[in-house]
Amino acid sequence: MTAREEILSRIRSALTEATAPEPIPRDYHRAPASGPGNVELFAHTVDDYRAQVHRADESTVAEVVTGLIADGARAVVPPDLPQSWRPRRDVVVDGAPTTLSTLELDALDVVVTGCTLGIAATGTIVLDGGPGQGRRALTLVPDHHICIVRTDQIVDTVPQAFQTLDPAKPLTFISGPSATSDIELNRVEGVHGPRTLDVVIVR
């Protein structure tokens, strides 16, 4: 018998006496999104993680983003980041014409991307590799991530997020900068992922 057949057969005989489970109670809050999510709550929960929250409108995004990049820092963007969101300075574009190697990425300081949605209840931004977000390594290796969230991308609850997300895409949920609590349960921001997270909310 293969391991597969044997395990499946063990499970079947383990369950012969089992009683049928009850239906799943879905009494928790799972109403679909109705209108835009709570932007103020999102700003508050993001800020609680010691990520910096900034505001802009479509005409000032580039200016705000540019102001967040330290002098002399080298920035990278995904190829399809909207022109109006790009920092006003020299940037490296990942994937145009060539995809950067991990070591090349490591030599860059800042990455600017969009996201697919933000969750107000938890202060989470979700990236799925869609337009303006780049591949996963792009938002991981540089030490500073500037993420742009449009107010119409914010949902209120975790269930609303899952009703929208596409599991066929690679998903990254980000809630504040990299952090550890492994030493006496003291939270230390910044271990392996980006040590600085700036979230720019665009109205």
Shortest distance, CB of residue 154 to another protein, whole angstroms? Answer: 14
Shortest distance, CB of residue 134 to another protein, whole angstroms? Answer: 9
How far apart are alpha carbons 18 and 63 in whole angstroms?
Answer: 63
Residues 166-195 that bind another protein (CB under 8 A): 167-186, 188, 190-194
Shortest distance, CB of residue 88 to another protein, whole angstroms? Answer: 29
118 lies in the binding site for another protein (CB under 8 A): no
17 Cα distance to chain centroid: 44
Residues 47-76 that bind another protein (CB under 8 A): 48-49
DSSP 109-164: -EEEE--SEEETTTTEEEE-S-TTT--GGGGTSSSEEEEEEEGGGEESSHHHHHHH
Which of the 8 DSSP states describes residue 74? -
Cα–Cα distances in Å, from 33 out to 4, 118, 199? Answer: 42, 12, 22
| Cβ closest to another protein, residue 5 vs residue 90 | 5
Residues 81-100 that bind another protein (CB under 8 A): 99
How many residues interact with another protein (rule CB under 8 A)?
77
| Cβ closest to another protein, residue 57 vs residue 106 | 106
Out of 92, 136, 150, 151, the only residue in the binding site for another protein (CB under 8 A) is 136
| Cβ closest to another protein, residue 11 vs residue 35 | 11
61, 202 Cβ separation under 8 angstroms: yes
How many Cβ atoms from other residues are within 10 Å of residue 76's Cβ?
A: 24
33, 153 Cβ separation under 8 angstroms: no
Site string for another protein, 11-50 (x = CB under 8 A): xxxxx-xxxxxxxxxxxxxx--------------x--xx-
| Cβ closest to another protein, residue 169 vs residue 203 | 169
Shortest distance, CB of residue 189 to another protein, whole angstroms? Answer: 8
| Cβ closest to another protein, residue 46 vs residue 68 | 46
Which of the 8 DSSP states describes residue 165? -
Identity of the residue numbered 165 = L
Out of 6, 40, 58, 152, the only residue in the binding site for another protein (CB under 8 A) is 6
